[in-house]
Amino acid sequence: MLELILQALYSGLLVGGVYALIGLGLALTFGTMRIINLAHGELVLLGAYVAYAFESRTELNPLWSIPIALVVVGAVATAVYFLVGRIKRNRELNSLMLTFAIGTILTNAVLLIWSSDVRSTANASLQDAVQIGPVFSMVSETGAFVISLALVIVLGLWLSRSWYGRAVRAVSSNRDAAKLMGISPMRTELTSFLVAAALAAFAGVAIYCSSVVQPSLGHTLTIKAFIITVLAGVGSVPGVLVAALLLGLTEALTVTLLSSALQELAGMVLFLLVLFVMPNGLFGASKRRG
């Protein structure tokens, strides 16, 4: 039983690393534009299907599809940004409806192009086992976690040390004051959208390489990203990582000890419990001020 729990904890950590990439993308766009991109999960899904299309056409390792996924997902994210940018009245509510509609269009486009069949990689090297003590995983799962952790660290350094990173934080904090400092909010918001798209592309390829994908996955990933963002508290990169790992652990333990049918419910229960105890999230604004 102990080995089973250890395996569940290990698997939850690996999945949580990929969840962190998805959550960071949503948190970044929400922080700069104060909108929730309900098409974010579909952008991740698009990256996964780009990897599938690349592998099925070339029979090469799907990791080589990352540059293509970056271009495709980035182009779609740019279109989403300019569509959202045209909203002038009731921006929060109208952007929710618009991005939800875009997500539905992307899901149906995936259905039309690739059908509703479940897809997974056929690359044998990605499915090799890696054993660490009593726990094991696939090469793809371990690699996805390492890459995700590295990208989270890079994003944190970018936000804290680069000029564009500081601009993103300035626009997120006070848009009008950022204008007075010579920062273009439009350019900064587009930058955050493109960075979020890059994270979505990496996450999509990672999910395809380590798991299975189907068109309905996009909506589920959007919900998970929203849960992670709220759990973490707006504006905290470490908080997003901790929240993503916590969600991954909760889901893995629920599947192992209870039932796979309760996996999604467990995430929502965790979400409600944290909000009830800590309304500002795990690393919310009040704690950062402290």
Least Cα distance to 228 among 239, 216, 219, 217 occurs for 239
Task: For residue 170, give every residue at least 6 positions away whose Cβ sits within 8 Å of its Cβ, in sequence order, or none.
Answer: 177, 178, 181, 183, 188
pLDDT at 284: 60
Going by C-alpha positions, the residue among 50, 45, 39 that lies closest to residue 72 is: 50
Q: What pLDDT score was predicted for residue 188?
A: 84
In a 13 Å sphere around the CA of 44, the CA atoms on its Cβ side amount to: 36
How is residue 289 written in tokens? Answer: 């001020």
Q: Which residue has the higher pLDDT, 167 or 63?
A: 63
Distance between CA atoms of residues 275 and 280, nearest Å: 7
Q: Taking 60 as the threshold, does the pLDDT of residue 285 lie above it?
A: no
What distance in Å separates the CA atoms of residue 39 and residue 80, rounded to the nearest whole number?
9
pLDDT score at 13: 92
CB 288 within 8 A of CB 241: no
Model pTM?
A: 0.90
Q: What are phi and psi of 90, to 5 degrees?
A: 50, 50
Element at 130 (helix H, strand E) = strand 129-132
Count CB-CB contacts under 10 A for residue 184: 13
What is the distance in angstroms between the CA of the first residue and the CA of the last residue of the chain?
A: 41
Q: Residue 3 carries which side chain, given as an amino acid letter?
A: E
What digits encode the pLDDT tens for the residues 127-180?
888 888 888 888 999 999 999 999 999 988 888 888 877 888 787 777 778 777
Task: Average the pLDDT over each of 61-70, 71-80, 159-168 and give the range with the smallest value.
Answer: 159-168
Which domains are assigned to the chain? 2-285 (1.10.3470)
